[in-house]
Structure 1
Amino acid sequence: MELNRRNFIKLSAVSGLFAAGATQAKPALTAFTETKASAATNTEGEWVGSTCQGCTTWCPVQVYVVNGRATKVRGNPNAKANHGEVCVRAHLSLQQVYDPDRVKQPMKRTNQNKGKDQDPQFVPITWEEAMDTIAEKILELRKNGESHKFSVWRGRYTANNEILYGSLAKMVGSPNNISHSSICAEAEKFGPYYTEALWGYRDYDHANCRYELLWGADPISSNRQVPHTINIWGNTMDRATIACIDPRLSATAAKADEWLPIIPGEDGALATAIAHVLLTEGLWYKPFVGDFVDGVNKFVAGRTVREEDFEEIEGYGVVKWWNLALKDTTPEWAAERCGIPVDQILRVARGFGEAAPHAISFLSPGASMQIRGGYTAIAVHALNGLVGSADNKGGTLSWSSVPSNGMPSFDDYLDDIAKKGAKEKRIDQGGTLKFPGLNKKSGGSKFTANMAQAMLDEDPYDLKVVLSYWNNFNFSCPDTNKWDKALAKLPFLVHMTVNPAEMTHFADIVLPVTHQLYERLSPVKGSGGNMHAHMTLTQRVIEPLWDVKIDETEIPFMLAEALAKKGFSNIYDYYTKEFVDPETGKRPTTPEEFNEIVTKIYSEPVWNPSIEKKGDNINGWEEFKKVAVWNSVPYQFKKKWGGNWGTDTGKFEFYSETLKRVLGEHAEANDASIDQVMEATLNTARGELAFVGHYEPAYRHGEETEFPFIFSEHRSRLNREARSANTSWYQEFKNADPGDVAWDDVAKINPIDAAKLGVNDGDKVKLTSPYGDITVTAKLWEGTRPGVISKCYGQGHWAYGRTASLDFGKKIARGGNNNTILADAYEALSGSTARHGGTTRIKVEKV
């Protein structure tokens, strides 16, 4: 097989991985690859609908295609959640799809030694050989009674993920389908769930809000719903007071009325102090929370209150919350812990309360993804209950429903091996005493990042065969050195990826997959915004330049065919017998047909006009492909009011009976008490304090005497989930983020700290934690709190391409990966990785 630029990057014995050789520090901007140059001169194009998955908003977009080339991206004018607009991340995707460093055909490893310092010596293979090899490995596990040592690792995904992630591992015979979700979100969902039974992201009625508390959120740059927020933010600032709680002066904070540069990890002190002020000064929203029977406010600092003296309406347990966690959390008490002056705490709390019920407490990962952040998440979200903004106009909202179909049942295709293997313990240890993962139940969350340690310890066992897609865990999970060791130990890894990445370096088989926005057909149920939920369609708007397949459907179908040829036909039979085109009645015979049928089955309720729904009327599949988005009706306020909150009490729970039950079930399953669960998860709460949002002092890795600085990371507005670093546009416009520098990776240091360190602007500095070190450039900047080093996440790739690296061939990264120095730590109650809140301490040394 000829190997050239057209099908793969030139391989070299010295390069180590998919190398193109050394590159200059700042490569020339090239919009397209050198392959398939078109001789056509027609400049007339068409707009084709698809979806951007640069964040979890999953905005509907349109791509302008000219002569088969994608040339521009814009928001889909049919979309309501994002006002028909997109942010910068969608535009960056143009350089991704035409990236010359993409994986272009299947490859296999020929050097069986694994390690960062090893050359994998990849050689091209056919798709048939790849599927045959993977099938052999799977069947070997099943033959040896080790089917549970098979695992599917999911990164980002579409609604079609049920094929590869949802059922494949179970049909092989393993409980180990592991999602990336806990490394980016779960603690944020913990607070809303254990107050109002909402496990997921929230929408916000910015248009009618009068006060917004942004807890580590930078909504015009990152988090979610960026196009919607940018579109409406000018009007929001005209009518509302904006208070940003963040140790870094973010883009949103720079435009805000109040910036509260909090000590990372101490958000719980501020949240409970604000709640204390709202109650002692009578600023809670009485039509929601209720009031004292005699109308006299008995919330007095330091004093307990009798529960029978208070008559509740929509809320439950506000007096219990006060007695357990709030009566002593005065602004003076909080100021000593969170570093915010008393007068500012009072001013913000009063302004927030006076705006009730049109006031939003906007919870984000920054405030919750820390070791004890679950209780901060509850306290922060409970503020929405105190001011009556939960499920209310000008407040924080759930979502309108989006109709969809599930996949056909595969129960009849589970043999005895599959049933037995699925009963084994999970590799991530979720549901054990120290890893509760209380996503609605014990072990409901997957502890993705913990797999590295579990694999090294072989606890509860080792993994032998892994299919991994749309992810790069040894770059995106904390303690990257640990992940490199775990992947080096893994006998057989298949990495399905658009670009070669750090995980690819440890793979045995590399499979090239379609770019999400341009080359695949899949439905996506977006998180929405602007009070509209949506289903949007990703489409093959261009023909792929290279030999790529769709990871979630086409590759599983091909693997099923290979397994069937070797005598295990259960998966193939499931695909070909149970999946029927809802329009034509046809069953799939090819991977491409299978993908389309799966997409049509899932999305049928939005495009079949005979199915009743609350939203757009779309007349058939072809029309859905043309408009490429279905919009719900606008969200209806107060749907949960009147006892419909979904919690154990049916009310908004300030004292969470729901959490009390789930914690109790987890403790019982592990033959422990709830206090023992608290101890195992590093929380200080004991007794009933475990059932309310409360202050937990920040837990940090690294002794202050050796590591005097708190490390705080943030996201770039150009960061397509850390996948845009190999685009020159990302590097060129990196300074769009306050304090950052184009074509560099900077540690933002307050000038007060820099003077003590003898560090000048532009110096190279080494950041060292107990887990590793990285070398970056110092940026002296008043926009980070003294004692805190702020740094953007996304740089530090050594195996992602010639632009992401300083020298791709020699594996020299551009800047440093934050995860190299971050502790492998967890907010264990939710299952979340603890990557925020100053979990890790560092020292700074001039190089």
Structure 2
Amino acid sequence: MVKVRGNQRSKSNHGYVCPRGHLSIGQMYDPDRIKVPMKRTNPKKGRGVDPKFVPISWDEALETVAEKMMELRRAGEPEKFMLMRGRYTYCRDVLYDAVPKIFGSPNNISHSALCAEAEKFGAYYTEGYWDYRDYDLENTKYVLLFGGDPLASNRQVPNAIHQWGKVMDQATIAVVDPRFSASASKAHEWLPVIPGQDGALAVAMAHVILTQGLWSREFVGDFQDGQNRFKAGQSVDEGLFDEKLTNGVVKWWNLELKDRTPEWAAGLCGIPAEQIVRVASGLAKAAPNCMVWMAPGAAMQPRGAYAAFAAHALNGLVGSVDSEGGTLQKMKAPYEHIPLYGDKFKPYIDEIAAKGGKHKKIDQRGTLEFPALASGKSGGGVVTNRAADGILNADPYDIKVAVGYWNNFTFSCTGAERWEKAMEKIPFFVHITTNPAEMTQYADIVLPAAFHKFERWGFVPSKFNRYSYISLQQPVVKPLWDVRIDETEISWLLAEKLKEKGFPNLYDYFHNEMVDLETGQKPTNSQEFALFTVKYMTQNMWDPAKNKDGDKFSGWSEFLAAGLWQSSQYPFKMNWGKWKTETKKFEFYSETLKKALTEHAEKNKATVDGVMEAAQYVARGEQAFIPHYEPPKIHGDEKEFPFVFIDNKNRLNREARSANLPNFHEFTKVGPGDVSHQDALKINPADARILGLKDGDTVKVISPVAEMTVTVALWEGVRPGTVNKSYGQGHWAYGKVAAADYHAAKPRGGNNNEILVADYDRLSGSTARHAVTRVKIVKA
């Protein structure tokens, strides 16, 4: 492998990859990769404890795993098996869904709530869309970016980099972020908001748009006599306004917006009132060819769901939803799931599995204080980080056997020490991984995974630039080591072992259902199973008899050569008048949220106000159903911990997996304010003078839960009263470059997740990474 580039046919990434893509070659050839299966010979577990791994065969490894799983079934407690998923391809159906369901456990726990679930909350409870949005940068005239940095980190980096110069020429860009991000450096307006106050800024902008009469008449409607009655501090008669494609704009005004003036917001969010007015009116005057790009920085906060709700509601006010130059949903990428329900699936679920699958999940989703209202369902989402507490407290029961793949929760979850203790407690843990990550140090069996980009079968659906697509992963090099594909090959090999031990259900399911749809052949080995699974799930793209939209192929071979299927282009206004909400309208007063909260309350024998109190929100009554301001909840007394800690993702950070590459450390400086070969704590020079700090000083960053030692970098791009450090360093495992001393478990730099307090946006289940923790700085 000598070069990586984007698929040259792609209408989404324009044939390019972002800077991270070029690091994947070094990752595949990383000499510290796990090369063969291993078993632990030291029963003691903990940070700094040598597992004393020894190499074993795949047969011995899988024999050991299967026996531990069968012990649970013999005891009638399969629910005590846990499957933890990190990143994935959409062959996830096999390992993440089929294995635990057929075995009999409800505990398939995904990483999703570590990512950006709160961001989805705003779109779902306004327009019925639980997913990330696409953005029409090609035609936009105004970009208002809340808490994101699409030039450096997001799901659309190649497209954003490709389009941004054009956007700067044709549009106004305003970035809301306490940190001067890469995107802020290419913007016309920077709004360095006080952390946690994004919601105040959003509702004040809504106030401006309404009082200035700048809302979209086409989308929202108007007063019957055409006279604007939205006056600061004054309620409005709902009967005087004729709404078109929205629900509850006047009710929203009366319950929340009438008092949310720019002057009120300025005192909270630190943005001058005149700038709030200028940006809000500029956005609305560019409508409908404008967008409010709402990202994790504004949403992944305690109570962040309502900031996401408020920010996305601005798109409804100006009619930029599903509009040219605005925010978009996606075209269907019609891949096929493997059978996981219904008549095809039932024969493989025995009595033990049926009983085990009815138990509660270990992450406590759907409980009174953790609604996790994904797609409107109580407990419909995951509360990933809460699983550590479930394990530690044996609530609702203890976990005895766990498997993790493509994950590293002991590093990537806030309050990381909790996960270290949780992993010490699990009696038997299997880690499927490429590198010896922090989580691997707690494993009893380690299984080496094929490298995800170049050594495996899989596929990934996504969208941007108005196209949905299916990107096909295929083995383009011969695997370097004795590795297997995590989601498919290992599942098959484990099923074979379970069959030998008297549990054939999983093997029979794979063998009977995952046939080659071209030949009708049933899989006879793990390699065939991996290939047949991808062909099965992507048939709607490559089979001309099934393909109803987008790229056309004559068969599998042509699709394989292309490596990519793309939809037709997203048509504007596709969802106008048929939103998947309770009212079929874009909801400012969300009947969809009202129904979800009411059902969650009834399930837990409580009231909606009781839910809001237990889930630690301030709103009561009808305010719970509208976008509104929630005061921030930041851990640490301000007098003792005077700085709010700001986390961001380094431009070269592939979810902390880049850190074992020398060129990651050499080029860390490409991140604004960052310094090569340092784990830099960026602090405003004004604050540094007060503390007597200068560039290059070594300091301790101390939070209410932990501390770390890093190097000071003075930088005017961070708001006074805050400090900022890029996520990605602080590994005490993963490899000889990532860690300062791998064998001694000595970290290189600091892991942000160790000092961040474990808290949540409970309505979505999302981990809170932003506006959650205060720190103090002392010289080391």
Normalised by the length of structure 1, the TM-score is 0.91
Please say if 1:421 is aligned against 2:327.
no
Aligned-residue offset at 1:120: 0.6
Runs of 4+ in 1 over 3 A off after TM superposition: none
2:453 matched residue in structure 1: 517
* CA distance in 2 between partners of 1:687 and 1:271 (Å): 21
Aligned-residue offset at 1:253: 0.4
Please say if 1:647 is aligned against 2:647.
no
2:465 matched residue in structure 1: 530
Asked if the contact 1:82–1:528 (Cα under 8 Å) also holds between the matched residues in 2, the reply is no
Q: 3-state SS of the aligned residue for 1:327?
A: helix
Please say if 1:177 is aligned against 2:112.
no
Asked if the contact 1:608–1:620 (Cα under 8 Å) also holds between the matched residues in 2, the reply is yes
* CA distance in 2 between partners of 1:410 and 1:570 (Å): 10
Q: 3-state SS of the aligned residue for 1:72?
A: coil
1:56 matched residue in structure 2: none
Aligned-residue offset at 1:809: 2.4
> 1:548 is matched with which residue: 473, 483, 501?
483
Aligned-residue offset at 1:446: 1.1
* CA distance in 1 between partners of 2:287 and 2:700 (Å): 47
Asked if the contact 2:47–2:745 (Cα under 8 Å) also holds between the matched residues in 1, the reply is no
Task: For 1:340-419, list aligned pairs within 5 A.
Answer: 340-408=271-339, 409-419=344-354
1:455 matched residue in structure 2: 391
1:476 matched residue in structure 2: 412
Aligned-residue offset at 1:716: 1.3
Asked if the contact 1:204–1:529 (Cα under 8 Å) also holds between the matched residues in 2, the reply is yes
> 1:83 is matched with which residue: 5, 14, 18?
14
Task: Give 1:651's aligned amino acid.
Answer: K
Asked if the contact 1:212–1:243 (Cα under 8 Å) also holds between the matched residues in 2, the reply is yes
Q: 3-state SS of the aligned residue for 1:714?
A: strand
* CA distance in 1 between partners of 2:101 and 2:434 (Å): 26
Task: For 1:492-507, list aligned pairs within 5 A.
Answer: 492-507=428-443
Please say if 1:586 is aligned against 2:517.
no
Please say if 1:664 is aligned against 2:595.
no
2:89 matched residue in structure 1: 158
> 2:70 is matched with which residue: 130, 136, 139?
139
* CA distance in 1 between partners of 2:395 and 2:660 (Å): 36
Task: Give 2:284's aligned amino acid.
Answer: G
Task: For 1:277-316, list aligned pairs within 5 A.
Answer: 277-316=208-247
Asked if the contact 1:155–1:471 (Cα under 8 Å) also holds between the matched residues in 2, the reply is yes
Task: Give 2:702's aligned amino acid.
Answer: T
2:656 matched residue in structure 1: 722
Aligned-residue offset at 1:612: 3.5
* CA distance in 2 between partners of 1:581 and 1:561 (Å): 19
Q: 3-state SS of the aligned residue for 2:4?
A: strand
Asked if the contact 1:768–1:844 (Cα under 8 Å) also holds between the matched residues in 2, the reply is yes
* CA distance in 2 between partners of 1:498 and 1:193 (Å): 35
* CA distance in 1 between partners of 2:549 and 2:521 (Å): 29
* CA distance in 2 between partners of 1:75 and 1:485 (Å): 41
* CA distance in 2 between partners of 1:343 and 1:115 (Å): 54
Asked if the contact 1:331–1:342 (Cα under 8 Å) also holds between the matched residues in 2, the reply is yes
**Larger displacement relative to structure 2 (399-408 or 460-469):** 399-408
CA displacement, residues 781-833 of structure 1 (integer Å, 9 cap, x when unaligned): 00000000111001000101111122222222111000000111000000100
Aligned-residue offset at 1:117: 2.8
CA displacement, residues 440-478 of structure 1 (integer Å, 9 cap, x when unaligned): 200011111011111111111110101100000000001
2:530 matched residue in structure 1: 595
Aligned-residue offset at 1:628: 0.1
* CA distance in 1 between partners of 2:724 and 2:71 (Å): 48
* CA distance in 2 between partners of 1:578 and 1:229 (Å): 41
Task: Give 1:179's aligned amino acid.
Answer: S
* CA distance in 2 between partners of 1:613 and 1:155 (Å): 32
* CA distance in 2 between partners of 1:499 and 1:397 (Å): 37
Task: For 1:243-262, list aligned pairs within 5 A.
Answer: 243-262=174-193
Please say if 1:558 is aligned against 2:489.
no
1:845 matched residue in structure 2: 778
1:605 matched residue in structure 2: 540
2:427 matched residue in structure 1: 491
> 1:614 is matched with which residue: 535, 549, 553?
549
* CA distance in 1 between partners of 2:388 and 2:335 (Å): 35
Asked if the contact 2:454–2:476 (Cα under 8 Å) also holds between the matched residues in 1, the reply is yes
Aligned-residue offset at 1:520: 0.1
> 1:202 is matched with which residue: 126, 133, 156?
133
* CA distance in 1 between partners of 2:747 and 2:316 (Å): 46
Please say if 1:126 is aligned against 2:57.
yes
Q: 3-state SS of the aligned residue for 1:71?
A: coil
* CA distance in 1 between partners of 2:319 and 2:701 (Å): 44
Please say if 1:807 is aligned against 2:738.
no
Identity %: 57
Q: 3-state SS of the aligned residue for 1:214?
A: strand
> 1:625 is matched with which residue: 553, 557, 560?
560
* CA distance in 2 between partners of 1:411 and 1:109 (Å): 37
2:725 matched residue in structure 1: 791
Asked if the contact 2:48–2:745 (Cα under 8 Å) also holds between the matched residues in 1, the reply is no
CA displacement, residues 380-408 of structure 1 (integer Å, 9 cap, x when unaligned): 00000000000111100000111211213
Q: Please provide the CA RMSD for this pair.
A: 0.8
Task: Give 2:561's aligned amino acid.
Answer: K
Asked if the contact 1:214–1:363 (Cα under 8 Å) also holds between the matched residues in 2, the reply is yes
Q: 3-state SS of the aligned residue for 1:540?
A: coil
Q: 3-state SS of the aligned residue for 2:293?
A: strand
1:240 matched residue in structure 2: 171
What are structure 2's unaligned runs of at least 5 residues? Answer: none
CA displacement, residues 19-66 of structure 1 (integer Å, 9 cap, x when unaligned): xxxxxxxxxxxxxxxxxxxxxxxxxxxxxxxxxxxxxxxxxxxxxxxx
1:638 matched residue in structure 2: 573
2:682 matched residue in structure 1: 748
Asked if the contact 1:535–1:629 (Cα under 8 Å) also holds between the matched residues in 2, the reply is yes
Normalised by the length of structure 2, the TM-score is 0.99
Q: 3-state SS of the aligned residue for 2:361?
A: coil
Task: Give 1:842's aligned amino acid.
Answer: V
CA displacement, residues 672-713 of structure 1 (integer Å, 9 cap, x when unaligned): 000011011110000000000100010011111111110110
Task: Give 1:630's aligned amino acid.
Answer: W
Asked if the contact 1:167–1:410 (Cα under 8 Å) also holds between the matched residues in 2, the reply is no
Task: Give 1:362's aligned amino acid.
Answer: W
Asked if the contact 1:403–1:613 (Cα under 8 Å) also holds between the matched residues in 2, the reply is no
Asked if the contact 1:744–1:814 (Cα under 8 Å) also holds between the matched residues in 2, the reply is no
Task: Give 2:744's aligned amino acid.
Answer: K
Task: Give 1:188's aligned amino acid.
Answer: E
CA displacement, residues 718-763 of structure 1 (integer Å, 9 cap, x when unaligned): 1112211111121111100110011110110001111111111100
Please say if 1:822 is aligned against 2:756.
yes
Task: For 1:314-333, list aligned pairs within 5 A.
Answer: 314-333=245-264
Asked if the contact 1:745–1:816 (Cα under 8 Å) also holds between the matched residues in 2, the reply is yes
* CA distance in 2 between partners of 1:457 and 1:759 (Å): 42
1:12 matched residue in structure 2: none
1:775 matched residue in structure 2: 709
